[in-house]
Structure 1
Amino acid sequence: MRQQLRRQAGAHSDHLQDVLAVQERELKRRFEAAHEDRLRAERHKFQAELAVVMGELKGVRDAITARADLDRAAHHAQEMWVACQGLKQAIRTGQLGAASWQQQLKPLRDEVAAIRQVAGEANRFVESVLTSLPEEVLERGVYTEDALRERFCKVERLCKRVNMIDDEGGSLFKYALSYLQSLLVVDAFERLPGKEQRDESISPKLNTYEIIARARYCVDKDDLLQAVRYMSLLQGEPRLVASDWVRDTRLMLEARQAADALLAHAAATGLQAL
């Protein structure tokens, strides 16, 4: 009986240990599952809060970067505008303090180099405009508008004096006759009708005196482009006399147009930065 009781007690004790071990494992599993669920929930919550904070930080960083880019763009536009203004000023005034219009010629290579340095090679518009400038403009420069108006007076007088000379030339008598004619008819074409002749369509049938009279009107109105169009209609010796003035005026107009285009580009870039 005692032996049997001992066996039963041992079996009962083993059974209790097994039951307790099973309960322990079950409780441990439930605890770990609950702990994992709670940890997962806290992790998700933390990730959501972290995502919000990271979004705000990214927004602040993007705003700071955008503001810095705008400041750099505005500063670059200002530098570009100053460089373009220097080119236009050089075209308008030439060499300051020059004694005559011949000495006002100022090479524009330094001004063009300054614009190219500020703009950089990536700016295709600026590079194409600067490349279009003739080499003579860079090396020699252009005559100012005042110098071209002053030269036009001499060209006008000489063209009238050789009005009767064609492309084949003429005798001394023909030169004298042409000179005499210029003295007699100059007053007849000195005054034009009241309306602005520069707004009319250019007719190839105009004679030398009419062409010069209309070109003079355009020069007085600061319309050198239209004056060049009229002077290009000249034929014979007057065309040869006016060829240098026409060429120099075209160079000045090309340089001025390039400077205006660059200034407009710089102004547009500055407005875009603002």
Structure 2
Amino acid sequence: MKGLDMALKEKAIAEKQAKRSQLLWSACQPLILSIQSSSNLESWEDQLEPLENEVAAIAKTSDEEDPLIGAVLASIPEEAKTRGVFSELALKNRFLNVEKVAFRLANLPEGFVSIPRMFLSYLQSFLLINLSKTIPPEELANEPFDVTALTNYDVLFRARYWLDRGDLLQALRYMNLLKGAARAIADEWMNETRILLETKLAADVLLLHAVYSNLIYLQDSS
């Protein structure tokens, strides 16, 4: 009888975990859709919708037996919860404006600069804008290279290269190498991109956790 009681108890626990994983999977869907959604509204700010409700719905599926959910939810930036995140499409569109201004200011330090120096930076940007560039194969293969040798122009070219290929994370990594006035111009874009990527990562981890937990139940019950 003890063996039967133990088996029934283990089955009940497994079914409870499976139900919780299914609830978690369902609760993750609105969050993922909110992150992926884009709007045709002209103002980027009008696209923002707080994610508090989506996060709260996921939190309800958590308990003391599964601390991972709470830990992942805590990693979501506060701005995403209270204000929302810009979609990837919105950030790509914003990048084009940031790129244009940062390219013109690429040779300027942060802070006040003289008008002649600003004019020279603008002039150089126009001379370089149509030059064809390539990225060394070793760099594309993610092999070590000297990032200090990259100019702001190089950084912007590489960031655009990866953005055009849908790799927002790699674009952000390169943008973090900007210096001077170009970095000051790009700071807000980089921060918004970080918020989106951190929120998206949290959603992906939660979804994978739900799927993995359900797979364990299916394997144990087969």
Smaller-chain TM-score bracket: 0.7 to 0.9
Identity %: 38
Q: 1:192 aligns with which of 120, 129, 134?
A: 134
Q: 1:176 aligns with which of 99, 119, 127?
A: 119
Q: 1:264 aligns with which of 208, 215, 219?
A: 208
Residue 113 of structure 1: aligned partner: 56
Q: Which has the larger radius of gyration?
A: 1
Instruction: Quote how far apart the aligned CAs of 1:253 are.
Output: 0.9
Runs of 5+ in structure 1 lacking a partner?
Answer: 1-54
Q: Specify which structure has the bigger relative contact order, considering alpha-carbon pairs within 8 angstroms and separated by 6 or more residues.
A: 2
Note closer, same or farther for the CA distance 1:219–1:97 as it changes in structure 2 (3 Å cut): closer
Question: How does 1:213-232 map onto structure 2 within 5 Å?
Answer: 213-232=157-176
Distance 1:121 1:107 in 2: 27
- Alpha-carbon RMSD: 2.3
Most deviating of 258-267 and 160-169: 160-169
TM-score normalized by the length of structure 2: 0.87
SS in 1 for 2:108: coil
Contact 1:93 1:104 in 2 (8 A): no
Question: How does 1:110-189 map onto structure 2 within 5 Å?
Answer: 110-188=53-131
Note closer, same or farther for the CA distance 1:263–1:235 as it changes in structure 2 (3 Å cut): same
What amino acid is the match of 2:18?
A
- Matched residues, number: 216
Instruction: Quote how far apart the aligned CAs of 1:81 are.
Output: 0.7
Residue 217 of structure 2: aligned partner: 273
Instruction: Quote how far apart the aligned CAs of 1:164 are.
Output: 2.0
Instruction: Quote how far apart the aligned CAs of 1:131 are.
Output: 1.1
TM-score normalized by the length of structure 1: 0.71
Runs of 5+ in structure 2 lacking a partner?
Answer: none
Question: Residue deviations 1:43-83, cap 9 Å, x none?
Answer: xxxxxxxxxxxx3x973x65555444433322221110111
Runs ≥4 in structure 1, deviation > 6 angstroms? Answer: none
Structure number with higher helix proportion: 1
